[in-house]
């Protein structure tokens, strides 16, 4: 990117809006993401139609150094924290939902073992082990351009955080043997490594025994199965992975024993990282609607509709919803830290719920307001609508489970039971 010529970002359609305190690094990263955006948008229709993975977008991300976005600087990455990641991710989400959603899986594979893990308690031996292991993973990302996925879901209560994972890791000489199955594995066939959550195979195993292991895409015993022809987020290619006696060396551990469980308990905002994608989609739906009604969509007849009061009311309604969503999104990012107070945890659930539900609602309003011509496949709106529908389904913080947690945690303090 030519540093002398920054891209002019229209604040109305930016992630943070005007006058938000971004530091120099954040501004530079947003510029970088914006510079890639138009190419992502141009390719999005093809990936969606073919339900194929956006490899070219990943080449661009690699070239721009963004695969190392959340790798700490001392390991050669850009050192983005959760807030910086979220703003960059939402910027990508404005242009291609599937790229942003899969980029979430990759970026969090470095954010969690990186900056987040530094906040957690580890023994000196664990710290030493983690430092050695994560250096391997970060090196692959930064120097070799490797892409990591995060297949956690199994179709059981595990991905909702309510039961141990059924995929098992058995300790063997020099490493681990993995057996099990993961469903909805985004980046299936595209990732170089699959960061799998599994349970250590031992008596009386519980969620505390969760292990986070990077399995190479070409490992013996790993099979990718099932077709992929979903409603939305088609470019994520989220197929099924089967693991049969898959050996991985000790360095495959992305966090030491017990540390993933600690992260999930003490760093709850780690589960909000899917929402930036959908906030980006929400912005895109609003931007499309304004431009459509103003007759500014390229390739459309110059029919302006903005003079009708119903259109103005609809746009106002969308704007209010978008700003409500943005306010909670940014507040959630301000709150994100280890051991947040209870009110911040509940607000994170509320933010996730709001972003996922409002993104879909904004797309719904956009189609209703722009009308029949706007939902033709030649325009992005119907894809935004379908992609946005997936947000509320993402475990562990689905829209339903956010309500479930808010209701319970608002009415019960820790350890309280009814008589
Ligand atoms: C496009 C896309 C990409 C995805 N990519 C990935 C990925 O890369 N990695 C990954 O791990 N997963 C991924 N997922 C999976 C996703 O996170 C969910 O696991 C998946 O959608 C669950 O589908 P399900 O309906 O079978 O879930 P179910 O477990 O049947 O749950 C259905 C609904 O019931 C509710 N529910 C579930 N458990 C409970 C409970 N214990 N108590 C109360 N309510 C509950 C939830 O609201 C949930 O949405 C992806 C999903 C989609 C749609």
pLDDT in tens, 157-189: 888 888 899 999 999 999 999 999 999 999 999
- Over the chain (419 residues), the average pLDDT of each successive run of 10 is 74 96 97 98 98 98 98 98 98 98 98 98 98 98 98 89 93 98 98 98 94 98 98 98 98 97 97 98 98 90 86 98 98 98 98 98 97 91 98 96 97 90
Superfamily of domain 267-411: Butyryl-CoA Dehydrogenase, subunit A, domain 3 (1.20.140.10)
- The yes-or-no answer to whether 149-263 and 267-411 have a common fold is no
State the distance from the centre of ligand 1 to the C-alpha of 406, rounded, in angstroms: 18
- Contact of 98 with 387, CB cutoff 8 Å: yes
In the numeric block, which tokens belong to residue 364? 């719904």
Work out the number of other CB atoms within 10 angstroms of the CB of residue 346.
17
In the numeric block, which tokens belong to residue 7? 């891209």
CA separation for the pair 322, 310 (Å, rounded): 18
Query: Could you tell me if the CB of 294 is within 6 A of ligand 1?
Result: no
Q: Which residue is closest in CA terms to ligand 1's atom 33?
A: 393
Report pTM. 0.97
pLDDT at residue 1, rounded to an integer: 47
Which atom of ligand 1 is nearest the CA belonging to 393?
49
Phi, psi of 394 (to 5 degrees): -80, 115
Which of 184, 196, 217, 224 is the best mutation target for the ligand 1 pocket, counting ligand atoms within 8 Å of the beta carbon and taking the most? 184
In the numeric block, which tokens belong to residue 165? 């994972």
Mean pLDDT of the chain: 96
Query: Could you tell me if the CB of 320 is within 6 A of ligand 1?
Result: no
Which residues does 382 contact at the CB level (< 8 Å), separation at least 6?
367, 374, 375, 376
Domain 149-263 = CATH 1.10.150.170: no
**Domain limits, the chain:** 11-146, 149-263, 267-411
CA separation for the pair 91, 277 (Å, rounded): 8
CA separation for the pair 97, 278 (Å, rounded): 7
pLDDT at residue 4, rounded to an integer: 56
CA separation for the pair 122, 113 (Å, rounded): 12
pLDDT tens for each residue of 327-367: 999 999 999 999 999 999 999 999 999 999 999 999 999 99
Which atom of ligand 1 is nearest the CA belonging to 156?
29
The third-level CATH classification (topology) of the domain covering 11-146 is: Butyryl-Coa Dehydrogenase, subunit A; domain 1 (1.10.540)
């Amino acid at each position: 990117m030519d540093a002398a010529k920054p891209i002019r970002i229209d604040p109305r359609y930016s992630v943070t809006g005007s006058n938000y305190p971004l530091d120099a690094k954040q501004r530079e990263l947003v510029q970088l993401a914006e510079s890639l955006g138009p190419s992502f948008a141009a390719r999005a229709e093809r990936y969606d139609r073919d339900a194929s993975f956006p490899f070219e977008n990943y080449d661009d991300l690699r070239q721009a150094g963004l695969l190392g976005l959340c790798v700490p600087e001392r390991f050669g990455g850009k050192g983005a924290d959760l807030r910086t990641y979220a703003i960059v991710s939402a910027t990508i989400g404005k242009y291609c939902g599937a790229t942003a959603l899969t980029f979430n899986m990759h970026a969090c594979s470095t954010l969690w073992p990186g900056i987040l893990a530094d906040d957690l308690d580890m023994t000196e031996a664990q710290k030493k082990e983690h430092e050695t292991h994560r250096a391997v993973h970060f090196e692959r990302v930064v120097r070799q351009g490797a892409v990591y996925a995060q297949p956690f879901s199994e179709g059981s209560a595990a991905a909702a955080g309510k039961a141990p994972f059924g995929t098992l890791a058995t300790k063997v000489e020099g490493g681990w043997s993995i057996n099990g199955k993961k469903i909805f594995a985004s980046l299936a066939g595209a990732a170089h490594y699959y960061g799998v959550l599994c349970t250590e195979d031992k008596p009386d195993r519980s969620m505390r025994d969760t292990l986070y292991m990077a399995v190479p895409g070409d490992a013996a015993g790993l099979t990718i199965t099932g077709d992929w022809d979903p409603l939305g987020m088609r470019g994520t290619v989220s197929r099924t992975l089967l693991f049969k006696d898959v050996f991985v060396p000790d360095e495959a551990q992305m966090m030491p024993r017990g540390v993933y469980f600690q992260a999930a308990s003490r760093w709850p905002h780690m589960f909000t990282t899917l929402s930036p994608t959908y906030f980006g989609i929400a912005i895109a739906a609003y931007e499309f609607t304004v431009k459509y009604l103003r007759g500014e969509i390229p390739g459309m007849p110059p029919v302006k509709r903005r003079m009708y009061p119903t259109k103005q009311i609809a746009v106002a309604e969308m704007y209010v919803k978008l700003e409500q969503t943005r306010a909670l999104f940014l507040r959630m990012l301000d709150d994100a830290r280890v051991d947040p107070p209870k009110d911040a945890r509940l607000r994170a659930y509320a933010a996730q719920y709001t972003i996922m539900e409002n993104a879909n609602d904004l797309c719904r309003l956009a189609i209703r307001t722009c009308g029949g011509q706007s939902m033709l496949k030649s325009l992005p709106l119907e894809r935004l609508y379908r992609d946005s529908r997936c947000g509320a389904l993402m475990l562990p913080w689905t829209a339903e489970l956010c309500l479930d947690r808010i209701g319970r945690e608002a009415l019960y303090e820790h350890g309280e039971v009814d008589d």
